[in-house]
Amino acid sequence: IKSQPTIFVIFGGTGDLNARKLAPALYNLYLEGWLPEQFALIGTGRTKLSDDDFRERMLKDINEFSRSGEAKEDKWQGFVPNVYYQAADVQNADTYQEFANRIKQLEEEWKTEANVIYYLAVAPNFFPVIAENLSKAGLTTDVERTRIVIEKPFGHDLESAKELNKLLGCIFQEKQIYRIDHYLGKETVQNIMAFRFANAIMEPLWNRNNIEHVQISVTEQLGVGERTGYYDGSGALRDMIQNHLLQLLCIVAMEPPVNFTAEEVRDRKVDVLRAMRRFTPDSVRDSAVRGQYGPGWIEGEKVPGYREEPGANPESNTETFAAVKFFVDNWRWQGVPFYLRTGKRLHRSASIITIQFKDVPHSIFPPEMADTMRKNRLVISIQPEMSIRLQVQAKRPGVDMVLNTVDMVFDYKGTYVAQAPEAYETLLLDVMLGDQTLFMRADQVEEAWDLVMPILNAWQNRASQNFPNYSADSWGPEVAEALVAKDGFHWFTIP
Ligand code: BG6
């Protein structure tokens, strides 16, 4: 299915997100034949550039960041006439008149009306002014054809998220608003829905009767680097847990939706957030820990601690690591802990969900045979490895009866030849097609903020920390180990 004629207006067209993600994603969609015949991308930014300057920059970005490698001359020549640039001061009403003219001109050329998508790849303080100015210029009234895409951070806390939702809600209908959480566009994350709801054997096991606990780890080797300006006011809980990790939890924990439509799927996810146990100041102490990285060595190279990153506050107490134990208080999950952890400058980059099943009720094997017997685990690797492994016990070959753990594996690399699309390709195409399934609805965002607010508040009240408390290239602070150890568990090794 191709979308209607489409005009993509990217605010922040000269920024990092467009360079690394949006431009390469649109180009790859073009290569794979997903863009409509009548398509235009209008980049906008404060810098004065001609269409040709912008096109040149874009080619450079695509060559550097596209998964399909350097653009081939003939393909690029096919794509580039659709790319335009318009210098814009987002505070100035005239800017929006110019957009209106540009859109009208394209529609006249195409002899048809176009869908217009406004992509706000800018700092969040510009969201309100852009939305309001679009509205004043009369650019938002066509509910069927106009859409707005908002990047995270969606609010800084519950109150600001509500305010932003309210403001957007005065200008747009919810069906026009696409709040991006790029984790939802990842191929392996979408596959969790397929795995759970297209296989009859999983559902009967997927509950408190069989599952002992769940771990969701998103570890990153990269440090905060140049992003301290944004990150210092954010921290790992806001940057990763409030959105990406809680979304993963929702997909693991949700009830089967009635069908695969946006409202059904999002209703079931919001049910999970609503069922999640709220924290009190006391339970925050028991359930949430944080850390900040110090200097260290990564692959033979010395790397600075967070407080020494460019532009960082040398006394910053912002967390670069967070681990939280959550509970989902409903029939399916009562008593099953969900441990979530994420951090920067850890030993390895990997996003993995592990579901640990309960022990066999009774072992028929004596200890000498079953020395290495483990509980069953389902390991869903989101990245960099893309796989699902079911860890089961098997008899080791030999005349004696000795058990060990083996993997039943579904591995993307070994199964499919086609390269998986980047998350942004999937998401941008969905915006064009008007499918909101993989986007955050207003109530989801607010529930997730509501859930983490007591942790943020408690941490703010106990700001002074013994930071740094983990060194670069480690697996995080000791308190994270203690969080799971006191329940008799350990964080699973990331291969
Ligand atoms: C972003 C965060 O949303 O996700 C970054 O702001 C983080 O801090 C990134 O590095 C991780 O995304 P991915 O796709 O590389 O796992």
Please state the rounded mean pLDDT for residues 27-44. Answer: 96
pTM: 0.96
Check residue 184 and give its pLDDT.
97
Say which DSSP state 22 is in. I
Question: In this predicted model, what pLDDT tens digit does every residue of 340-389 receive, in sequence order?
Answer: 999 999 999 999 999 999 999 998 998 888 777 889 999 999 999 999 99
190: tokens are 């979408």
**Which amino acids are annotated catalytic?**
244
Q: What is the DSSP string of 165-205?
A: HHHHHHHS-GGGEEE--GGGGSHHHHHHHHHHHS-TTTGGG
Say which DSSP state 295 is in. -
Alpha carbons within 13 angstroms on the beta-carbon side of residue 454 total 16
Task: Using the predicted structure, report yes or no on whether residue 294 has a pLDDT greater than 90.
Answer: yes
Q: How far apart are CA 13 and CA 10, in angstroms?
A: 5
Torsion of CA 9, 190, 374, 246, to 10 degrees: 50
Question: In this predicted model, what pLDDT tens digit does every residue of 244-258 receive, in sequence order?
Answer: 999 999 999 999 999
Check residue 431 and give its pLDDT.
97
Ligand 1 centroid to Cα of residue 18, in Å, is 15
Task: Using the predicted structure, report yes or no on whether residue 132 has a pLDDT greater than 70.
Answer: yes
Strand partners, 9: 42, 118
Ligand 1, residue 351: give the atom nearest the CA.
16
Residues whose beta carbon lies within 6 Å of some atom of ligand 1: 152, 220, 239, 351
Ligand 1 centroid to Cα of residue 388, in Å, is 22
Q: Whose CA is nearest to atom 14 of ligand 1?
A: 183
Task: Using the predicted structure, report yes or no on whether residue 1 has a pLDDT greater than 70.
Answer: no
Strand partners, 303: 296
269: tokens are 């996810």
Ligand 1 centroid to Cα of residue 41, in Å, is 25
Tell me the best of 183, 189, 244, 386 to mutate to test the pocket of ligand 1, counting ligand atoms within 8 Å of each CB and taking the most.
Answer: 244
Check residue 371 and give its pLDDT.
78
Ligand 1, residue 423: give the atom nearest the CA.
14
Question: In this predicted model, what pLDDT tens digit does every residue of 154-211 receive, in sequence order?
Answer: 999 999 999 999 999 999 999 999 999 999 999 999 999 999 999 999 999 999 999 9
Check residue 372 and give its pLDDT.
77
Ligand 1 centroid to Cα of residue 104, in Å, is 37
Say which DSSP state 361 is in. S
Q: How far apart are CA 384 and CA 346, in angstroms?
A: 15
5-14, 394-403, 455-464: range with highest mean pLDDT:
5-14
Check residue 462 and give its pLDDT.
85
User: How high does pLDDT run on average in the chain?
Assistant: 95
Helix axes 158-171, 442-461, angle to 10 degrees: 150
Residue 365's identity, in one-letter code, is: F
Tell me the best of 67, 152, 183 to mutate to test the pocket of ligand 1, counting ligand atoms within 8 Å of each CB and taking the most.
Answer: 183
Ligand 1, residue 224: give the atom nearest the CA.
8
